[in-house]
A and B are shown apart, each in its own frame.
Chain A
Amino acid sequence: MAPTGYYIALSGLLFAIGMIGVLTRRTAIMVFLSVELMLNAANLALVAFARSWGDLTGQTAVFIVMTLAAAEVAIGLAIIVAIFRKRETTNVDTLAGLKG
């Protein structure tokens, strides 16, 4: 049985890699993939804490997070398709129309 700390370390590494991806990749789809990576890192930490406390609340929270991620992907990809039809690109740098 691996200690809880190992799982948290792995979760932190995955989260950091996902954050680097969100900041450096220029395609909207790649940004989305990196966000999924960060969500999974958070889920892993939640399940590790659930085992540490012997409470199923953490695992149930992961279930809710998974549903949220599915809804987010459905809406986000629909927005990407709509933008691609209008602009012929998904480069996030050219989509700065709402910049203040």
Chain B
Amino acid sequence: MIAFLLLAPLALVGAIITVAAKNAVHASLGLVGTLLSVAGLFASLNASFLAATQVIVYAGAIMVLFLFVIMLLNANQPITGRDPVPFVRELAGIGGVILAGAFAVLAFTYRDARPLAESVPNLRGGGAGPVGEVLLTRFLLPFEAVSILLLVAIVGAVALVQRPASQPDGTPERERVVLPGPTEPPVEARETVVLSSERGRV
């Protein structure tokens, strides 16, 4: 109970920072706070293996990927522009309130099928062994499907971000030069050449 009361406000504050922060880096750091709090909540729910996975995979790997892309694209600054749908903020607020209200009603009318003291020992602490046992028996087909999905995701990501061999106009990448090339003489030198030739003719 104490763990929940400590971690739940942290998770909510992190979520609000994630949604409200102007700077994308601040938003992703808020999400890291939420993810770590949720990992603590997992631990308080007898899911120790998931808590460790949450910290390693979510707060570690996925958030590093996010921060990497934010900084690679220099996208940490907010976009200032008009909203094409002017009422989307009001709509989002109303929808969020309705959704939160529906979940609150569900939360305070939910009754456990059995007393928690009876069902918690069945979880066996949620360690890697018991979870892996369920994963490789009842969840065997999703487990294999997810392995294929990860392979497709890796190949797809590599295929998506590789640069095309040539630009759309057919010029190879190494021949696209923006600066004036070395064959073109500087402006001053060209003028002196013209002047000397004219002088010679006169």
Interface, chain A (partner B; CB < 8 A): 1-21, 23-27, 29-30, 32-34, 36-37, 40, 43-44, 47-48, 50-57, 59-64, 66-75, 77-82, 84, 89-91, 93
User: Of A9, A32, A43, which one neighbours B38 at CB under 8 angstroms?
Assistant: A43
CB–CB A77/B1 < 8 A: no
CB–CB B19/A37 < 8 A: yes
Given A5-B108, A7-B41, A71-B150, answer yes or no on A12-B4 (Cβ-Cβ < 8 Å).
no
CB of A55 to closest CB in B, whole Å: 7
Given A57-B134, A69-B62, A78-B160, answer yes or no on A90-B96 (Cβ-Cβ < 8 Å).
no
Given A60-B135, A64-B146, A75-B157, answer yes or no on A19-B99 (Cβ-Cβ < 8 Å).
yes
Q: Which of B132-158 contact A (CB under 8 A)?
A: 133-135, 138-139, 142-143, 146, 149-150, 152-154, 156-157
Nearest CB to that of A79 among chain B residues?
Answer: B160
CA distance A12 to B1 in the complex (A): 19
Q: A23-B89, A64-B142 are in contact. List 6 more A-B contacts (CB 8 A).
A: A27-B78, A44-B41, A50-B45, A53-B113, A59-B50, A71-B146
Interface, chain B (partner A; CB < 8 A): 1, 3-5, 8, 11-12, 15-16, 18-19, 24, 27-28, 31, 34-35, 38, 41-42, 44-47, 49-50, 53-54, 57-58, 61-62, 65-66, 69-70, 72-73, 75, 78-79, 81, 83-84, 88-89, 91-93, 95-97, 99-100, 102-104, 106-110, 112-114, 116-124, 126, 130-131, 133-135, 138-139, 142-143, 146, 149-150, 152-154, 156-157, 160-161
Which residues of chain A come closer than 8 Å to B102, judged between CB atoms?
12
CA distance A19 to B95 in the complex (A): 8
User: Of B54, B114, B149, B150, which one neighbours A54 at CB under 8 angstroms?
Assistant: B114
